[in-house]
Amino acid sequence: MAEAITDPVAEGLADNPAPAFRPGNEADFERLYQASYGKILGTLTAMLGDRGAAEDCTQDAFERAYRKWPSFQPIAPAEAWVHR
């Protein structure tokens, strides 16, 4: 029998401290990106009032997060870590 595919956001993984996200793991960073991109973009769009500027800031945040991903400390929700 095939296993059910789970959604980390639906299961609350994006809201929990992140044993679900392993530092330096490419697949985990991709899951984090997919789970939190829209929420971060929405927050920045509301704050800045400019969708284009919000997209640029979101991209910059994820670029910085990706560079630091190997040193990620799973002590807080991973999405909060990207926000920093």
We report the CATH number of the domain holding residue 53 as 1.10.1740.10
Question: Which of the pair, 7 or 70, is modelled with greater confidence?
Answer: 70
* Cβ 18 vs Cβ 31: under 8 Å: no
> Is 27 inside any structural domain?
yes
> Is 16 inside any structural domain?
no
Q: Name the one residue in this structure whose structure tokens are 């002590």.
A: 75
Mean of per-residue pLDDT scores for the chain: 79
**What pLDDT, on a 0 to 100 scale, did the predictor assign at position 57?**
95
For the chain, how many structural domains are there in total? 1
Measured distance CA(23)–CA(49) in Å, rounded = 33
> Is 28 inside any structural domain?
yes
Measured distance CA(62)–CA(42) in Å, rounded = 14
In tens, the pLDDT along 18-52 reads: 457 888 999 999 999 999 999 999 999 999 999 99
> Is 75 inside any structural domain?
yes
Question: Which of the pair, 21 or 78, is modelled with greater confidence?
Answer: 21
> Is 7 inside any structural domain?
no
**pTM as predicted:** 0.67
> Is 8 inside any structural domain?
no
> Is 46 inside any structural domain?
yes
Beta bridge partners of 17: 77
Q: H helices within the chain, ranges in order?
A: 26-48, 51-68, 78-83
Domain that holds residue 58: 21-83
